[in-house]
Amino acid sequence: MKNNILFRPLPLIIAILLIPAFGQARDIPPIVSTDWLLTNLKNPKLVILDVRRVEDYREGHIPGAFNMPTSCAFNEDKTFKTKEELTAIVEAAAGKDRSAAIVTYCDMGQCCPIWSYLMKQVLGYPNVKLYVGSMQEWTQDTDAPVTTNNKTPKVDK
């Protein structure tokens, strides 16, 4: 229980630390809106990563999104996996193109900053953005489609 209390603010802290790093990105804002994502949903150069649990992803997600659960970034002892392991996980979902535009999202914008931070600061993907409204905001928009087509890469948890 003690660890959970300390771990809860981590996504917010990571998001705050990411704001200056995202300021140097070229094409899209550091935090994308529902309108921006709807407009760019069919862009073949955009990679959308749903970082929720596999079960949540299968119940419904943003069309075109690949599932890359946040839990995949951690070892059983709650430490981050090695850079090599993280690279393999990200490349299975987002590909090897470090210049690709990537948007991460989760349920409420609390977990997606973890992968955004790892991809941008550790793995060298410079164009990673957050959709902090995440599924909570997406499902409130009547124009925002939800699908159950699965695009879950095979990675170890």
How far is residue 114 CA from its own chain's centroid?
8
The identity of residue 3, as a single letter, is N
Q: Distance between CA atoms of 22 and 17, rounded to whole angstroms?
A: 9
**DSSP of 7-36, one letter per residue?**
HTTHHHHHHHHHHHHHTT-SSS-SB--HHH
Q: Distance between CA atoms of 150 and 92, rounded to whole angstroms?
A: 14
Q: Which residues are catalytic?
A: 106
* List of residues 6+ apart from 97 with CB closer than 8 A: none
Q: Distance between CA atoms of 19 and 98, rounded to whole angstroms?
A: 19
